[in-house]
Structure 1
Amino acid sequence: MSNFLRITEVMKMTGIAKSTIWLWVKEEKFPKPIKLSPRITVWDEDSINEWKKEIQC
């Protein structure tokens, strides 16, 4: 089972700015987040790792 990551953790893991992450989510270039509550949004760590592997190829 993978972990859930908040936006700051995703930023550290990918080296991508917050605004770019949200832009790429909107453009479907980055994995979609999971909405846990109205104020809590997370990403599945496995989906981020898969995305990183895809862009390296």
Structure 2
Amino acid sequence: MLQKPGIEPHHNQIYRTSRSTPVRNHRDGGHAAPLPKYLRLAQLVPDVVPVSPATIWRWVKAGNFPAPIKLTAHVTAWKLEEVVAWLEARSLDPA
């Protein structure tokens, strides 16, 4: 099996190369799944969700907003798909 430099082989796992190109193992047909996109708080507020950062954290604590994930010790972000699903669910609620 040919191995690209800097990429460890593992069945059905996506890797990022230095070119930021998703690479998938050949066993699954070679189709690359889209990598998850993340939003930091500064990207989320106020452009995507027009509330304050404190309100976002209050909603997270109350379970009314998707929980963030820790990408590193000092970086917290939200999965874009979860935020979009939350926004779509809110737009369907009769107010």
Unaligned runs of 5+ in 2: 1-33
- Please report the TM-score for the alignment, with normalisation by the length of structure 1: 0.91
The corresponding residue for 2:75 is 40
Alignment length (residue pairs): 57
Q: Which residue of 2 aligns with 1:6?
A: 40
Shift of 1:20: 0.2
State the AA in 1 paired with 2:74.
R
Residue from 10, 22, 25 that aligns with 2:60: 25
Percent identity of paired positions between Structure 1 and Structure 2: 30
| TM-score normalized by the length of structure 2 | 0.57
Q: How does 1:46-57 map to 2 (within 5 A)?
A: 46-57=81-92
C-alpha distance in 2, partners of 1:17/1:3? 22
What is the letter of the counterpart of residue 35 of structure 1?
Answer: K
Question: After TM superposition, what 4+ stretches of structure 1 lie above 4 angstroms from structure 2?
Answer: none
Structure 2 CA distance, aligned partners of 1:9 and 1:16? 12
Work out which of the two has the higher radius of gyration on C-alpha atoms and give 1 or 2.
2
Higher relative contact order (CA 8 A, sep 6+): 1
